[in-house]
Chain A
Protein backbone atom coordinates (compact mmCIF):
# COMPACT_ATOMS: atom_id res chain seq x y z
CA UNK A 1 0.00 0.00 0.00
CA UNK A 2 1.36 3.36 -0.83
CA UNK A 3 1.10 6.10 1.48
CA UNK A 4 -0.25 8.45 -0.93
CA UNK A 5 -3.42 7.10 0.52
CA UNK A 6 -2.74 8.83 3.78
CA UNK A 7 -4.15 12.09 2.56
CA UNK A 8 -7.28 10.62 1.02
CA UNK A 9 -10.56 10.51 2.87
CA UNK A 10 -12.10 7.29 1.68
CA UNK A 11 -13.89 4.70 3.80
CA UNK A 12 -11.88 4.31 6.99
CA UNK A 13 -9.99 7.45 6.11
CA UNK A 14 -9.26 10.31 8.46
CA UNK A 15 -11.05 13.61 8.12
CA UNK A 16 -9.42 16.82 9.23
CA UNK A 17 -12.15 17.13 11.84
CA UNK A 18 -11.08 13.81 13.38
CA UNK A 19 -7.53 15.06 13.65
CA UNK A 20 -8.60 18.35 15.19
CA UNK A 21 -10.83 16.55 17.70
CA UNK A 22 -8.18 13.98 18.62
CA UNK A 23 -5.43 16.57 19.11
CA UNK A 24 -7.75 18.89 21.03
CA UNK A 25 -8.79 16.02 23.28
CA UNK A 26 -5.21 15.56 24.46
CA UNK A 27 -3.85 19.03 23.75
CA UNK A 28 -6.30 21.09 25.79
CA UNK A 29 -5.80 19.26 29.11
CA UNK A 30 -2.04 19.33 28.54
CA UNK A 31 -2.12 23.04 27.78
CA UNK A 32 -4.18 23.62 30.93
CA UNK A 33 -1.63 21.70 33.01
CA UNK A 34 1.29 23.58 31.48
CA UNK A 35 -0.38 26.95 32.07
CA UNK A 36 -1.20 26.07 35.69
CA UNK A 37 2.40 25.06 36.31
CA UNK A 38 3.81 28.08 34.54
CA UNK A 39 1.46 30.42 36.38
CA UNK A 40 2.51 29.02 39.75
CA UNK A 41 6.17 29.01 38.82
CA UNK A 42 6.20 32.62 37.64
CA UNK A 43 4.08 33.82 40.54
CA UNK A 44 6.44 32.23 43.02
CA UNK A 45 9.56 33.69 41.41
CA UNK A 46 8.25 37.26 41.65
Chain B
Protein backbone atom coordinates (compact mmCIF):
# COMPACT_ATOMS: atom_id res chain seq x y z
CA UNK B 1 0.00 0.00 0.00
CA UNK B 2 1.25 3.50 -0.87
CA UNK B 3 2.15 5.66 2.09
CA UNK B 4 -0.43 8.39 2.67
CA UNK B 5 -2.97 6.50 0.57
CA UNK B 6 -5.49 7.21 3.35
CA UNK B 7 -5.58 10.72 1.96
CA UNK B 8 -6.98 9.59 -1.40
CA UNK B 9 -10.46 10.66 -2.41
CA UNK B 10 -11.70 7.06 -2.74
CA UNK B 11 -10.67 6.39 0.88
CA UNK B 12 -12.91 9.23 2.04
CA UNK B 13 -16.17 8.04 0.47
CA UNK B 14 -18.81 7.91 3.21
CA UNK B 15 -20.20 4.55 4.24
CA UNK B 16 -23.85 3.80 4.70
CA UNK B 17 -25.34 5.65 7.64
CA UNK B 18 -22.77 8.44 7.70
CA UNK B 19 -24.45 11.65 8.78
CA UNK B 20 -23.78 14.63 6.58
CA UNK B 21 -23.89 16.79 9.72
CA UNK B 22 -20.38 15.50 10.50
CA UNK B 23 -19.03 17.44 7.52
CA UNK B 24 -19.63 21.04 8.72
CA UNK B 25 -17.57 20.41 11.91
CA UNK B 26 -14.79 19.01 9.69
CA UNK B 27 -14.89 22.19 7.61
CA UNK B 28 -15.02 24.34 10.74
CA UNK B 29 -11.89 22.60 12.08
CA UNK B 30 -10.06 24.09 9.12
CA UNK B 31 -11.71 27.50 8.89
CA UNK B 32 -11.59 28.25 12.62
CA UNK B 33 -7.82 27.76 12.43
CA UNK B 34 -7.00 29.65 9.27
CA UNK B 35 -9.28 32.52 10.36
CA UNK B 36 -6.43 33.29 12.75
CA UNK B 37 -4.92 35.39 9.97
CA UNK B 38 -7.36 38.22 10.76
CA UNK B 39 -5.91 38.36 14.28
CA UNK B 40 -2.26 38.41 13.23
CA UNK B 41 -2.01 42.10 14.09
CA UNK B 42 -1.92 41.21 17.83
CA UNK B 43 1.70 40.12 17.22
CA UNK B 44 2.76 43.34 15.52
CA UNK B 45 3.56 45.49 18.54
CA UNK B 46 5.27 42.69 20.55
CA UNK B 47 7.42 41.92 17.48
CA UNK B 48 8.63 45.53 17.35
CA UNK B 49 10.37 45.06 20.72
CA UNK B 50 11.88 41.59 20.54
CA UNK B 51 15.32 43.06 21.31
CA UNK B 52 14.34 46.04 23.43
CA UNK B 53 11.66 44.06 25.37
CA UNK B 54 9.90 47.06 26.97
CA UNK B 55 10.38 49.43 24.04
CA UNK B 56 11.74 49.21 20.50
CA UNK B 57 15.55 49.17 20.39
CA UNK B 58 17.95 49.74 17.46
CA UNK B 59 17.79 46.63 15.28
CA UNK B 60 14.20 45.85 16.26
CA UNK B 61 11.74 45.32 13.41
CA UNK B 62 9.57 48.24 12.32
CA UNK B 63 5.79 48.05 11.88
CA UNK B 64 6.16 48.69 8.15
CA UNK B 65 8.40 45.60 7.84
CA UNK B 66 5.98 43.53 9.90
CA UNK B 67 2.99 44.63 7.81
CA UNK B 68 4.43 42.61 4.94
CA UNK B 69 3.85 39.34 6.82
CA UNK B 70 0.06 39.73 6.61
CA UNK B 71 0.21 41.08 3.06
CA UNK B 72 2.31 38.11 1.89
CA UNK B 73 -0.03 35.65 3.61
CA UNK B 74 -3.10 37.12 1.87
CA UNK B 75 -1.25 37.25 -1.45
CA UNK B 76 -0.26 33.58 -1.23
CA UNK B 77 -3.77 32.72 -0.06
CA UNK B 78 -5.10 34.05 -3.38
CA UNK B 79 -2.35 32.56 -5.53
CA UNK B 80 -2.50 29.08 -3.99
CA UNK B 81 -6.31 28.96 -4.06
CA UNK B 82 -6.25 29.83 -7.74
CA UNK B 83 -3.32 27.67 -8.85
CA UNK B 84 -4.00 24.63 -6.65
CA UNK B 85 -7.80 24.70 -6.89
CA UNK B 86 -7.97 21.96 -9.51
CA UNK B 87 -5.56 19.78 -7.50
CA UNK B 88 -7.78 20.25 -4.45
CA UNK B 89 -10.90 19.38 -6.45
CA UNK B 90 -9.47 16.25 -8.02
CA UNK B 91 -7.47 15.01 -5.03
CA UNK B 92 -10.34 15.28 -2.61
CA UNK B 93 -10.82 17.24 0.61
CA UNK B 94 -8.75 15.09 2.96
CA UNK B 95 -5.54 15.45 0.99
CA UNK B 96 -6.08 19.21 0.69
CA UNK B 97 -6.85 19.57 4.40
CA UNK B 98 -3.76 17.56 5.29
CA UNK B 99 -1.59 19.74 3.05
CA UNK B 100 -3.22 22.86 4.51
CA UNK B 101 -2.51 21.66 8.08
CA UNK B 102 1.13 20.95 7.19
CA UNK B 103 1.61 24.34 5.55
CA UNK B 104 -0.29 26.41 8.12
CA UNK B 105 1.02 24.62 11.23
CA UNK B 106 4.51 24.29 9.71
CA UNK B 107 4.44 27.95 8.72
CA UNK B 108 4.02 28.92 12.36
CA UNK B 109 6.99 26.75 13.35
CA UNK B 110 9.21 28.27 10.66
CA UNK B 111 8.05 31.74 11.69
CA UNK B 112 8.91 30.87 15.32
CA UNK B 113 12.44 29.99 14.15
CA UNK B 114 12.56 33.34 12.34
CA UNK B 115 11.56 35.19 15.52
CA UNK B 116 14.09 33.20 17.55
CA UNK B 117 16.88 33.96 15.04
CA UNK B 118 15.54 37.50 14.57
CA UNK B 119 15.53 37.04 10.80
CA UNK B 120 12.52 38.73 9.19
CA UNK B 121 12.98 36.83 5.92
CA UNK B 122 12.46 33.52 7.69
CA UNK B 123 9.25 34.93 9.20
CA UNK B 124 8.15 36.11 5.75
CA UNK B 125 8.76 32.65 4.35
CA UNK B 126 7.19 30.84 7.31
CA UNK B 127 3.96 32.70 7.98
CA UNK B 128 3.75 34.66 4.72
CA UNK B 129 4.55 32.05 2.09
CA UNK B 130 4.01 28.65 3.77
CA UNK B 131 1.21 29.88 6.00
CA UNK B 132 -0.38 31.72 3.08
CA UNK B 133 -0.42 28.55 0.97
CA UNK B 134 -2.02 26.75 3.94
CA UNK B 135 -4.64 29.50 4.08
CA UNK B 136 -5.49 29.15 0.39
CA UNK B 137 -5.66 25.35 0.45
CA UNK B 138 -7.63 25.34 3.67
CA UNK B 139 -10.07 28.00 2.54
CA UNK B 140 -11.26 26.14 -0.55
CA UNK B 141 -10.77 22.54 0.62
CA UNK B 142 -14.22 21.89 2.16
CA UNK B 143 -16.32 24.05 -0.18
CA UNK B 144 -17.31 21.63 -2.93
CA UNK B 145 -17.63 18.74 -0.46
CA UNK B 146 -20.15 20.74 1.58
CA UNK B 147 -22.08 21.69 -1.54
CA UNK B 148 -22.29 18.03 -2.55
CA UNK B 149 -23.52 16.98 0.89
CA UNK B 150 -26.09 19.78 1.05
CA UNK B 151 -27.56 20.12 -2.45
CA UNK B 152 -30.78 21.25 -0.80
CA UNK B 153 -29.08 24.02 1.22
CA UNK B 154 -25.69 24.84 -0.35
CA UNK B 155 -25.69 28.43 0.90
CA UNK B 156 -26.23 27.42 4.51
CA UNK B 157 -23.56 24.70 4.27
CA UNK B 158 -20.81 26.89 2.86
CA UNK B 159 -21.98 29.74 5.09
CA UNK B 160 -21.28 27.59 8.13
CA UNK B 161 -17.70 26.89 7.05
CA UNK B 162 -16.92 30.43 5.97
CA UNK B 163 -18.47 31.71 9.20
CA UNK B 164 -15.67 29.75 10.87
CA UNK B 165 -13.13 31.88 9.02
CA UNK B 166 -14.69 34.96 10.59
CA UNK B 167 -14.86 33.26 13.98
CA UNK B 168 -11.23 32.13 13.89
CA UNK B 169 -10.01 35.61 14.74
CA UNK B 170 -12.33 35.80 17.74
CA UNK B 171 -10.57 32.76 19.18
CA UNK B 172 -7.04 33.55 18.02
CA UNK B 173 -6.89 37.09 19.33
CA UNK B 174 -7.53 36.42 23.06
CA UNK B 175 -5.70 33.07 22.86
CA UNK B 176 -2.56 34.68 21.40
CA UNK B 177 -2.59 37.49 23.95
CA UNK B 178 -2.99 34.96 26.77
CA UNK B 179 -0.17 32.75 25.45
CA UNK B 180 2.20 35.69 25.03
CA UNK B 181 1.41 36.69 28.60
CA UNK B 182 2.29 33.19 29.80
CA UNK B 183 5.59 33.04 27.90
CA UNK B 184 6.78 36.60 28.44
CA UNK B 185 9.41 37.32 31.05
CA UNK B 186 11.16 40.59 31.98
CA UNK B 187 13.99 39.55 29.63
CA UNK B 188 11.99 38.00 26.85
CA UNK B 189 8.88 38.58 24.69
CA UNK B 190 7.08 35.23 24.28
CA UNK B 191 6.25 35.50 20.58
CA UNK B 192 8.34 32.53 19.37
CA UNK B 193 6.91 30.17 21.99
CA UNK B 194 3.38 31.37 21.18
CA UNK B 195 4.00 30.62 17.50
CA UNK B 196 5.20 27.10 18.38
CA UNK B 197 2.12 26.37 20.51
CA UNK B 198 -0.24 27.80 17.91
CA UNK B 199 1.48 25.84 15.12
CA UNK B 200 1.09 22.55 16.99
CA UNK B 201 -2.48 23.24 18.18
CA UNK B 202 -3.64 24.36 14.74
CA UNK B 203 -1.99 21.36 13.07
CA UNK B 204 -3.79 18.93 15.40
CA UNK B 205 -7.10 20.76 15.10
CA UNK B 206 -6.92 20.77 11.30
CA UNK B 207 -5.92 17.10 11.21
CA UNK B 208 -9.09 16.26 13.15
CA UNK B 209 -11.02 17.94 10.34
CA UNK B 210 -9.07 15.94 7.74
CA UNK B 211 -9.80 12.72 9.62
CA UNK B 212 -13.56 13.16 9.88
CA UNK B 213 -14.29 14.66 6.47
CA UNK B 214 -16.06 12.39 3.97
CA UNK B 215 -17.31 12.78 0.42
CA UNK B 216 -20.73 11.41 -0.51
CA UNK B 217 -20.96 8.19 -2.51
CA UNK B 218 -21.94 8.63 -6.17
CA UNK B 219 -25.69 9.01 -6.47
CA UNK B 220 -26.18 9.93 -2.82
CA UNK B 221 -28.85 12.44 -2.06
CA UNK B 222 -30.42 13.68 1.19
CA UNK B 223 -33.41 11.85 2.61
CA UNK B 224 -36.77 13.19 1.49
CA UNK B 225 -35.16 15.40 -1.13
CA UNK B 226 -35.40 15.10 -4.87
CA UNK B 227 -33.76 17.50 -7.27
CA UNK B 228 -36.40 19.96 -8.46
CA UNK B 229 -37.72 19.08 -11.92
CA UNK B 230 -37.90 22.74 -12.88
CA UNK B 231 -34.72 24.48 -11.74
CA UNK B 232 -34.72 28.26 -11.27
CA UNK B 233 -33.42 29.98 -14.41
CA UNK B 234 -29.98 30.74 -12.93
CA UNK B 235 -29.38 27.28 -11.45
CA UNK B 236 -27.80 24.70 -13.73
CA UNK B 237 -27.69 20.95 -13.32
CA UNK B 238 -24.79 20.76 -15.80
CA UNK B 239 -21.10 21.21 -15.04
CA UNK B 240 -18.56 23.63 -16.50
CA UNK B 241 -14.83 22.86 -16.46
CA UNK B 242 -12.75 25.25 -14.39
CA UNK B 243 -10.72 26.57 -17.32
CA UNK B 244 -13.85 26.94 -19.44
CA UNK B 245 -15.55 28.83 -16.62
CA UNK B 246 -12.72 31.39 -16.61
CA UNK B 247 -13.64 32.21 -20.21
CA UNK B 248 -17.27 33.02 -19.46
CA UNK B 249 -18.53 36.56 -18.78
CA UNK B 250 -20.49 35.14 -15.83
CA UNK B 251 -17.27 34.27 -13.98
CA UNK B 252 -15.89 37.77 -14.40
CA UNK B 253 -19.18 39.43 -13.49
CA UNK B 254 -19.25 37.42 -10.26
CA UNK B 255 -15.56 38.29 -9.77
CA UNK B 256 -16.49 41.99 -9.89
CA UNK B 257 -19.55 41.43 -7.71
CA UNK B 258 -17.33 39.93 -5.02
CA UNK B 259 -14.50 42.40 -5.52
CA UNK B 260 -16.76 45.47 -5.25
CA UNK B 261 -18.67 44.11 -2.26
CA UNK B 262 -15.43 43.25 -0.46
CA UNK B 263 -13.72 46.53 -1.42
CA UNK B 264 -16.57 48.48 0.14
CA UNK B 265 -16.38 46.47 3.36
CA UNK B 266 -12.68 45.85 3.82
CA UNK B 267 -11.73 49.52 3.60
CA UNK B 268 -13.87 50.53 6.54
CA UNK B 269 -13.17 47.34 8.49
CA UNK B 270 -9.55 48.36 8.96
CA UNK B 271 -10.44 52.01 9.70
CA UNK B 272 -13.51 51.49 11.89
CA UNK B 273 -11.81 52.40 15.14
CA UNK B 274 -10.20 55.61 13.88
CA UNK B 275 -13.26 56.56 11.84
CA UNK B 276 -15.67 56.29 14.76
CA UNK B 277 -13.43 58.43 16.97
CA UNK B 278 -12.79 61.07 14.30
CA UNK B 279 -16.41 61.34 13.19
CA UNK B 280 -17.65 61.68 16.78
CA UNK B 281 -14.91 63.57 18.63
CA UNK B 282 -15.53 63.52 22.37
CA UNK B 283 -18.38 61.05 22.04
CA UNK B 284 -16.50 57.85 21.12
CA UNK B 285 -13.44 57.04 23.23
CA UNK B 286 -10.62 54.72 22.11
CA UNK B 287 -12.01 52.01 24.39
CA UNK B 288 -15.53 52.35 23.02
CA UNK B 289 -14.09 52.23 19.50
CA UNK B 290 -12.34 48.95 20.34
CA UNK B 291 -15.69 47.59 21.53
CA UNK B 292 -17.24 48.73 18.27
CA UNK B 293 -14.57 46.81 16.32
CA UNK B 294 -15.33 43.70 18.41
CA UNK B 295 -19.03 44.00 17.60
CA UNK B 296 -18.16 44.36 13.93
CA UNK B 297 -16.23 41.06 14.08
CA UNK B 298 -19.30 39.36 15.53
CA UNK B 299 -21.59 40.75 12.84
CA UNK B 300 -19.04 39.84 10.17
CA UNK B 301 -19.16 36.24 11.42
CA UNK B 302 -22.92 36.04 11.92
CA UNK B 303 -23.59 37.65 8.54
CA UNK B 304 -21.69 34.86 6.82
CA UNK B 305 -24.07 32.24 8.12
CA UNK B 306 -27.31 34.21 8.06
CA UNK B 307 -27.02 35.82 4.62
CA UNK B 308 -25.73 32.62 2.98
CA UNK B 309 -28.62 30.67 4.55
CA UNK B 310 -31.07 33.30 3.39
CA UNK B 311 -29.72 32.94 -0.14
CA UNK B 312 -31.08 29.38 -0.22
CA UNK B 313 -34.55 30.85 0.20
CA UNK B 314 -34.43 34.04 -1.90
CA UNK B 315 -31.76 33.06 -4.44
CA UNK B 316 -28.17 34.16 -4.86
CA UNK B 317 -28.80 37.03 -7.25
CA UNK B 318 -31.48 38.52 -4.99
CA UNK B 319 -29.16 38.23 -1.99
CA UNK B 320 -26.47 40.28 -3.75
CA UNK B 321 -29.13 42.78 -4.83
CA UNK B 322 -29.91 43.20 -1.11
CA UNK B 323 -26.21 43.79 -0.38
CA UNK B 324 -25.87 46.39 -3.10
CA UNK B 325 -29.14 48.28 -2.56
CA UNK B 326 -29.08 48.23 1.23
CA UNK B 327 -25.31 48.87 1.28
CA UNK B 328 -25.64 51.90 -1.01
CA UNK B 329 -28.38 53.40 1.18
CA UNK B 330 -26.43 52.77 4.39
CA UNK B 331 -23.14 54.18 3.08
CA UNK B 332 -24.95 57.26 1.82
CA UNK B 333 -26.54 57.62 5.27
CA UNK B 334 -23.24 57.52 7.20
CA UNK B 335 -22.27 61.20 6.63
CA UNK B 336 -25.71 62.21 7.92
CA UNK B 337 -25.14 60.22 11.11
CA UNK B 338 -21.91 62.15 11.57
CA UNK B 339 -23.59 65.51 10.91
CA UNK B 340 -26.40 64.79 13.37
CA UNK B 341 -24.06 63.19 15.93
CA UNK B 342 -26.08 59.99 16.02
CA UNK B 343 -23.59 57.40 17.24
CA UNK B 344 -26.25 54.69 17.55
CA UNK B 345 -27.33 55.06 13.93
CA UNK B 346 -23.69 55.12 12.81
CA UNK B 347 -22.98 51.87 14.65
CA UNK B 348 -26.15 50.26 13.29
CA UNK B 349 -25.25 51.24 9.71
CA UNK B 350 -21.79 49.69 9.97
CA UNK B 351 -22.94 46.54 11.72
CA UNK B 352 -25.38 45.85 8.88
CA UNK B 353 -22.76 46.79 6.27
CA UNK B 354 -20.18 44.46 7.78
CA UNK B 355 -22.70 41.60 8.02
CA UNK B 356 -23.17 41.98 4.26
CA UNK B 357 -19.41 42.04 3.74
CA UNK B 358 -19.19 38.63 5.42
CA UNK B 359 -22.34 37.49 3.66
CA UNK B 360 -20.76 38.26 0.30
CA UNK B 361 -17.89 35.86 0.99
CA UNK B 362 -20.17 33.11 2.23
CA UNK B 363 -22.79 33.30 -0.51
CA UNK B 364 -20.42 33.28 -3.46
CA UNK B 365 -19.56 29.51 -3.48
CA UNK B 366 -23.26 28.69 -3.82
CA UNK B 367 -23.57 31.35 -6.56
CA UNK B 368 -20.76 29.61 -8.45
CA UNK B 369 -22.41 26.24 -7.92
CA UNK B 370 -25.65 27.61 -9.37
CA UNK B 371 -23.87 28.94 -12.44
CA UNK B 372 -21.19 26.32 -13.11
CA UNK B 373 -22.37 23.13 -11.37
CA UNK B 374 -20.73 21.19 -8.55
CA UNK B 375 -17.97 19.34 -10.42
CA UNK B 376 -15.30 22.07 -10.37
CA UNK B 377 -16.90 24.55 -8.01
CA UNK B 378 -13.99 24.38 -5.55
CA UNK B 379 -11.43 25.11 -8.25
CA UNK B 380 -13.53 27.93 -9.73
CA UNK B 381 -13.95 29.35 -6.23
CA UNK B 382 -10.17 29.22 -5.89
CA UNK B 383 -9.77 31.51 -8.90
CA UNK B 384 -12.48 33.81 -7.61
CA UNK B 385 -10.53 34.34 -4.39
CA UNK B 386 -8.20 36.59 -6.42
CA UNK B 387 -11.05 39.13 -6.24
CA UNK B 388 -10.52 39.20 -2.49
CA UNK B 389 -6.79 39.79 -2.91
CA UNK B 390 -7.50 42.66 -5.29
CA UNK B 391 -10.09 44.13 -2.94
CA UNK B 392 -7.59 43.82 -0.09
CA UNK B 393 -5.44 46.32 -1.97
CA UNK B 394 -8.18 48.63 -3.37
CA UNK B 395 -10.27 49.00 -0.21
CA UNK B 396 -7.73 50.22 2.34
CA UNK B 397 -5.92 52.33 -0.27
CA UNK B 398 -9.15 54.10 -1.25
CA UNK B 399 -10.16 54.81 2.34
CA UNK B 400 -6.70 55.89 3.51
CA UNK B 401 -5.80 58.06 0.54
CA UNK B 402 -9.18 59.72 0.19
CA UNK B 403 -9.18 60.61 3.89
CA UNK B 404 -5.64 61.99 3.63
CA UNK B 405 -6.62 63.96 0.51
CA UNK B 406 -9.64 65.49 2.26
CA UNK B 407 -7.64 66.41 5.38
CA UNK B 408 -4.94 67.98 3.17
CA UNK B 409 -7.70 70.04 1.50
CA UNK B 410 -8.59 71.45 4.89
CA UNK B 411 -11.77 69.41 5.44
CA UNK B 412 -12.38 68.89 9.20
CA UNK B 413 -11.50 65.38 10.39
CA UNK B 414 -15.10 64.72 11.38
CA UNK B 415 -16.15 65.20 7.74
CA UNK B 416 -13.07 63.70 6.08
CA UNK B 417 -14.75 60.34 5.52
CA UNK B 418 -17.85 61.70 3.74
CA UNK B 419 -16.34 61.54 0.26
CA UNK B 420 -15.13 57.98 0.95
CA UNK B 421 -18.61 56.91 2.05
CA UNK B 422 -20.16 58.29 -1.14
CA UNK B 423 -17.48 56.55 -3.21
CA UNK B 424 -18.20 53.26 -1.44
CA UNK B 425 -21.89 53.74 -2.24
CA UNK B 426 -20.91 54.32 -5.87
CA UNK B 427 -18.85 51.11 -5.91
CA UNK B 428 -21.90 49.24 -4.69
CA UNK B 429 -24.00 50.77 -7.47
CA UNK B 430 -21.43 49.39 -9.94
CA UNK B 431 -21.71 46.01 -8.20
CA UNK B 432 -25.50 46.18 -8.57
CA UNK B 433 -25.15 46.46 -12.34
CA UNK B 434 -22.58 43.63 -12.54
CA UNK B 435 -25.03 41.44 -10.66
CA UNK B 436 -27.88 42.60 -12.87
CA UNK B 437 -26.07 41.49 -16.03
CA UNK B 438 -25.50 37.91 -14.82
CA UNK B 439 -27.33 35.44 -17.05
CA UNK B 440 -27.25 31.63 -17.18
CA UNK B 441 -24.07 30.13 -18.68
CA UNK B 442 -24.54 29.16 -22.32
CA UNK B 443 -24.88 25.44 -22.98
CA UNK B 444 -21.81 25.41 -25.22
CA UNK B 445 -19.70 25.78 -22.05
CA UNK B 446 -21.23 22.72 -20.37
CA UNK B 447 -19.16 19.55 -20.00
CA UNK B 448 -20.48 16.58 -21.94
CA UNK B 449 -22.32 14.14 -19.69
CA UNK B 450 -20.33 10.90 -19.83
CA UNK B 451 -21.94 7.60 -18.93
CA UNK B 452 -21.62 7.14 -15.23
CA UNK B 453 -21.36 10.85 -14.73
CA UNK B 454 -25.09 11.29 -14.77
CA UNK B 455 -25.24 10.53 -11.10
CA UNK B 456 -22.96 13.45 -10.38
CA UNK B 457 -25.53 15.78 -11.80
CA UNK B 458 -28.01 15.03 -9.07
CA UNK B 459 -25.53 15.69 -6.30
Contacts and interface: CB of A to CB of B under 8 A. Distances in A.
Contact of A41 (B29, B172, B222, B295): B295
A22 to B, nearest CB: 4
B261 to A, nearest CB: 24
Contacts of B19: 6-7, 13-14, 18-19
Contacts of B97: none
A14 B170 contact: no
Contact of B25 (A3, A5, A23): A23
A30 B170 contact: yes
B223 A13 contact: no
A11 to B, nearest CB: 6
B17 A6 contact: yes
Contacts of A10: 15-17
Nearest to A29: B171
Name A's interface SS: helix
Contacts of A13: 15-19
Given A3-B225, A10-B16, A14-B18, A44 B29 contact: no
Given A1-B219, A13-B18, A26 B32 contact: yes
Given A22-B26, A29-B32, A12 B297 contact: no
A39 B375 CA distance: 43
A11 B18 CA distance: 9
The main secondary structure of chain B at its interface with chain A is helix
Nearest to B294: A41
Contacts of B292: 41, 45
A1 B164 contact: no
Contacts of A3: 220-225
Nearest to B295: A41
A14 B297 CA distance: 34
Nearest to B28: A26
Given A5-B16, A33-B170, A22 B22 contact: yes
B223 A7 contact: yes
Interface string B24-47: 011011001000000000000000
Contacts of B290: 40, 44
A10 B15 CA distance: 9
Contacts, number: 116
A41 B298 contact: yes
Contact of A26 (B21, B164, B217, B223): B164
A37 B15 contact: no
Contacts of B297: 37
B288 interface: yes
B167 A30 contact: yes
Contacts of B241: none
A44 B449 CA distance: 58
A9 B18 CA distance: 8
A30 to B, nearest CB: 5
Nearest to B178: A36
B212 interface: yes
Contact of B291 (A12, A18, A42): A42
Nearest to B163: A30
Contacts of A30: 28, 32, 164, 167, 170-171
A5 B220 CA distance: 10
A4 B20 CA distance: 12
A32 B29 contact: no
Nearest to B221: A3
A12 B18 CA distance: 6
B16 A41 contact: no
B285 to A, nearest CB: 8
A34 B294 CA distance: 9
Contact of B298 (A2, A34, A45): A34
B287 interface: yes
Interface of B: 14-22, 25-26, 28-29, 32, 164, 167, 170-174, 208, 212, 217, 219-225, 287-288, 290-292, 294-295, 297-298, 301
- Give the 4 A-B residue pairs with the shortest CB-CB distance, closest first: A12-B15, A13-B17, A44-B291, A33-B170
Interface of A: 1-14, 18-19, 22-23, 25-26, 29-30, 32-34, 36-38, 40-45
20 contacts: A3-B221, A3-B222, A4-B223, A5-B16, A6-B17, A6-B222, A7-B19, A13-B17, A13-B18, A14-B19, A26-B25, A30-B167, A33-B172, A33-B173, A34-B167, A34-B301, A36-B174, A40-B294, A41-B298, A44-B287
